[in-house]
Structure formats: structure tokens, C-alpha cells
């Protein structure tokens, strides 16, 4: 089953999109990033490219399109309420 993860952290998506991971200063973070990186890469190829119906992908999205922002920031929850009410969140390739 394919998985699409979305992040508004450009450096995270760039870091995990690279074939070879760069070193990070925090050892524990480096271990976690290696584990996540392994789910996106298989034999030097992105799993999404190897099996479009079953690979995993991480995509960057603009901060204003994050539905969960109202859970961690002081803001009105209008966007997440609309997504939950409509049961629809459309992800488009830019």
C-alpha cells in the first residue's frame, strides 16, 4: 500500500530525497532519519519510482496548506474543520 507523507519542512524533504544522507549533528536524530530514509529508498532507487502502486513518498507542501497547524499554533481551526467535514484534502503536484 502506498504512503504519502506531507511536510512543510523543506530541509527535511530535501534531506530524505537525496540518495545519500548527509550527516546530522544529533546522533539520535541521525538514526531516525536513516530509518525513515530506508522506507523511501530501495537499492538506490526511490520506492515510489520502483513500484508506483506501493512505494512511499515524502512531499513538501506550503505551510498554509497544513491542516494540522491549528493543533500546534494559536489560530482558528477553520481549515481542518472544513477538511474533516468534507472528508476531502486534495494534494496537487506543483
C-beta separation of 33 from 21 below 8 A: yes
87 shares its domain with 71: yes
Residue 81's domain comprises 63-94
pLDDT tens, the chain, 94 aa long: 788 899 989 999 999 999 888 899 999 999 999 999 988 888 888 888 887 677 888 889 888 888 888 898 888 999 999 999 999 988 876 5
Rg (CA), the chain: 15
| Domain total of the chain | 2
69 shares its domain with 88: yes
4 shares its domain with 47: yes
25 shares its domain with 67: no
Is pTM beyond 0.75 here? no
10 shares its domain with 40: yes
Distance, in Å, from the CA atom of 91 to the CA atom of 75, rounded to the nearest integer, reads: 22
Distance, in Å, from the CA atom of 17 to the CA atom of 33, rounded to the nearest integer, reads: 11
Residue-by-residue DSSP string for 3-53: EEEEES-HHHHHHHHSSSPPP-S-HHHHHHHHHHHHHHEETTEEHHHH-TT
Amino acid at each position: 500500500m502506498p504512503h504519502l507523507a506531507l511536510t512543510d519542512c523543506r530541509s527535511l524533504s530535501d534531506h530524505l530525497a537525496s540518495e545519500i544522507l548527509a550527516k546530522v549533528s544529533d546522533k539520535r536524530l541521525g538514526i531516525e532519519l536513516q530509518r525513515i530514509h530506508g522506507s523511501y529508498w530501495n537499492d538506490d532507487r526511490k520506492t515510489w519510482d520502483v513500484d508506483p502502486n506501493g512505494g512511499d513518498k515524502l512531499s513538501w507542501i506550503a505551510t498554509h496548506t497544513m491542516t494540522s497547524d491549528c493543533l500546534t499554533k494559536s489560530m482558528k481551526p477553520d481549515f481542518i474543520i472544513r477538511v474533516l467535514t468534507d472528508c476531502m484534502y486534495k494534494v496537487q503536484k506543483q
